Amino acid sequence: MQAMFSQLTPSQQLAVIVRSAVDTLAIVLLTHFLVRPYLKLYFIPKGRMGWALLQLAGLLYVLGIVSMLLSIAIGKIDFLQVTDITHLVFSSAEGEYQLHFQHKSLILFGGLNQAVVFAIWCMLYLMWHNHQSKKQMQQQLEQSRLQQLTNQLSPHFLFNALNSIRALIFEDQHKAADTVTQLSELFRTHLQAHLTPLSRLEEEWRIAEHYLSIEQVRLEQRLKLELDIAGNCLQHQLPTLSLLTLVENAIKHGISPNAQPGFIRICARQLPEQRWQLEVSNSYRHPSSQGNTHTGLANLQQRLALMPGQNNITVHQQAPDSNQAGLYRICMELSYD
């Protein structure tokens, strides 16, 4: 107010700037070290109505009075006397006007004014805290749903792997023993990953490779694998066990039901605008007698929807004819940071 209504010398203008900085610092310190801990440790956990609200109002008024006392004390410093709020000077063409305030009334009404400032700060802090809490709860919910959906895949994978080993026992016991070793190695790798909701493509391929090695023993020449994975895609993240889900689906419905040789093709490549693509396709001639419940794909679609960014999955199917096998292709497009 002195700077607005009084003609000040350069040194007095500097005093006004220093005083403004000191007052701002005082408010920041009071809100950060007194108001914020009170809100966080007591007011928010206890509730925001009734007695807790009255206590908060009382605290803010006390802090307002403390702030005014501090402000009055600062104004008594020699260098900052021009900013003394108990004595204001207004300059005009008609002369100077002086205004004096009694300390008692200044402290009471000034404290109320400061309390309003603190109350506005509290409202902004509570709004920010609500936003952060909702955001954190949403993240925890999505993380929990991702974990639940991921855990549903483990029994399904184990069931398929044990079926493969069971079939081998009657054909070649040594191969069955080697396959059990492969299975134990796969689960060792799997358990070390702690079954996190998201994994890198490199980790996903390592798990799928173990599974394909197990199925290769059983299917022999009926299974041909084609890989086209770009090196710059290996560090991109995708839902855990998603590649294994697609590979299992390809073997169960494309390769196993057919006596003729077939292939599985796995491709990963970079796309524009920070996106990348993972595609798993397989040949087939006759539909699987087990039927397709689409449980794995539905699970995968839900997990993709919970990931940040634009992620989608598409399915393309080309029916077989007398001269050529059919093609079943599943394509995922994902975002990356």
Instruction: Show the domains of the chain with their CATH numbers.
Output: 2-143 (no CATH), 152-335 (3.30.565.10)
**Using 50, 70 and 90 to split pLDDT, how confident is the model at 135?**
confident
pLDDT at residue 148, rounded to an integer: 56
Q: Is the pLDDT of residue 74 over 80?
A: yes
pLDDT at residue 200, rounded to an integer: 92
Average pLDDT over residues 276-286: 92
Average pLDDT over residues 251-275: 91
pLDDT at residue 40, rounded to an integer: 87
For 143-189, what is each residue's pLDDT tens digit? 656 565 555 555 655 676 677 778 778 877 888 888 888 778 777 76
Mean pLDDT, the chain, rounded, equals 82
pLDDT at residue 2, rounded to an integer: 55
Average pLDDT over residues 66-73: 88
pLDDT at residue 141, rounded to an integer: 57
> Exposed/middle/buried for 324, CB within 10 Å: 0-12, 13-18, 19+?
exposed
pTM of structure: 0.56
Instruction: Please state, for a pLDDT cut of 70, what percent of the chain lies above it.
Output: 80
pLDDT at residue 58, rounded to an integer: 92
Nearest Cα neighbor of 60 from 94, 78, 36, 82 is 36
